[in-house]
Amino acid sequence: AAEAPAAQMRELGCDRQVISADEAVRIEPALRHIRPQLAGATYTSEDESGDANRFARELVRHCEADGVQFLMSHTVTALREVAGRLNHVEATDTEGRFQTLRADAYVLAMGSLSPLYARPLGIRLPIYPAKGYSVTMPVKNADLAHQVSLTDDEYKLVFSRLGDRLRIAGTAELNGYDRDLNRVRCEAIVRRVEQLFPGAGDASAAQFWTGLRPATPSNVPLIGKTRVSNLYLNTGHGTLGWTHACGSGKSIARIISGLKPEVDFAFTGLAA
């Protein structure tokens, strides 16, 4: 079952290889505990993992150094259209002060909240919030903890090593915009970690988080024009928000500038 997807990814330039269980354990010794359960694995040498929060903070710092202004702790309350163009954006700060923001072009990149802002403009976005969970725990025994970024296909979980922390993320809960932590799901993730890597992490110090992925039916993001001439979309990235972030940003910048994206991609321009 892994051969066909791996071959397709190689055709697209991603060096994904199907390897034996023994080879998987050689690459990631932390898998030795479950070697009898492994049928094999797929491996991509260029796969990496990182701290998305730290990346975003550093990106803000670099952008501010180049003159970009960020309005943190503001809430966008409305997008106002006049004669087929977006005239302005209305927002409030933490003290309730009202602001009107105007620009030549606007990008709607509000994740799972994007449909709520687009709907009053008559734009229907096929995006639904899919709640995902992550668990972060300190490394308890470095010799037992994994180093390679791993995906558990059976439980749909992704395992990353962030220095002295383990981060495990996954699941998809369709429950509207509710962001309450479901303890049953949290405990299930911790149990799976302890099954696969017993003693690797300190489950007693685990921290739980949940967020809403902007999922589309095809898992393909919406990047491009809308029927409002100066309003553009960069949203609906599902589980691949950070993975696609830089490429999506570059692509929408080219579209706004009247250029074609460098990637051959079915960019979505909702003209009606």
In the 3-class helix/strand/coil scheme, how is the chain assigned residue by residue?
CCHHHHHHHHHCCCCEEEECHHHHHHHCHHHHHHHHHCCCEEEECCCCCCCHHHHHHHHHHHHHHCCCCCCCCCEEEEEEEECCEEEEEEEECCCCCEEEECCCCEEECCHHHHHHHHHHHCCCCCCEEEEEEEEEEEECCCCCCCCCCEEECCCCEEEEEECCEEEEEEEEECECECCCCCHHHHHHHHHHHHHHCCCCECHHHCEEEEEEEEECCCCCCEEEECCCCCEEEEECCHHHHHHHHHHHHHHHHHHHCCCCCCCCCCCCCCCC
CA distances from 39 to 1, 8, 19, 21 (A): 11, 21, 9, 6
Domain membership flag for residue 204: no
With respect to residue 35, please indicate whether it lies within any of the assigned structural domains.
Answer: yes
Tell me: do 104 and 75 sit in the same domain. yes
How high is the pLDDT of residue 268? 61
In a domain, 211, yes or no: no
pLDDT of residue 118: 97
C-alpha angle 163-66-87 in degrees, rounded to nearest 5: 110
Mean pLDDT of 206-226: 93
pLDDT of 139: 98
Pairing of strands 106-108, 231-235: parallel
**For residue 267, what pLDDT is reported?**
62
**Structural domains of the chain, count:** 2
pLDDT on residue 263: 81
**155-192 residues labelled b (16+ CB within 10 A) or e (exposed):** eebbbbbeeebbbbbbbeeeeeeeeeebeebbebbbeb
- When the pLDDT of each residue in the chain is averaged and rounded to a whole number, the result is 93
**Does residue 156 fall inside a structural domain?**
no
- Same-domain pairing of 59 and 10: no
Q: Are residues 68 and 104 in the same domain?
A: yes
Q: Which residue has the tokens 């929408």?
A: 252
**C-alpha to C-alpha distance for 207 and 73, rounded to whole angstroms:** 24
Same domain, 2 and 120: no
pLDDT at residue 269 greater than cutoff 70: no
Average pLDDT over residues 134-162: 94
Higher pLDDT: 107 or 266? It is 107
5 and 116 belong to one structural domain: no
| pLDDT surpasses 50 at 271 | no
Q: If we measure between CA atoms, which residue out of 213, 174, 171 comes closest to residue 189?
A: 171
pLDDT tens by residue, 229-246: 999 999 999 999 999 999
Question: Residue 15 sits in which domain range?
Answer: 1-47
> What value, to the nearest 5°, has the Cα angle with vertex 57 and ends 157 and 44?
35
Instruction: Give the residue-averaged pLDDT of 173-184.
Output: 95
Residue 60 lies in a domain: yes
| 174-177 contacts, C-beta under 8 A, 24 or more apart | 174/128, 174/130, 174/131, 175/131, 176/129, 177/112, 177/129, 177/212
Residue 260: which pLDDT band, with cuts at 50, 70 and 90? confident
d(C-alpha 239, C-alpha 79), whole Å: 26
% residues pLDDT > 90 (the chain): 88
166 found inside a domain: no
Compute the residue count for the chain: 272
**CATH code of the domain in which 224 resides:** 3.50.50.60
Structural domain includes residue 172: no
For residue 235, tell me if it sits in a domain: yes
Q: Are 17 and 41 part of one and the same domain?
A: yes
Report the Cα 36 to chain-centroid distance in Å: 33
Q: Answer yes or no: do 68 and 29 share one domain.
A: no
Domain match, 62 and 110 both: yes
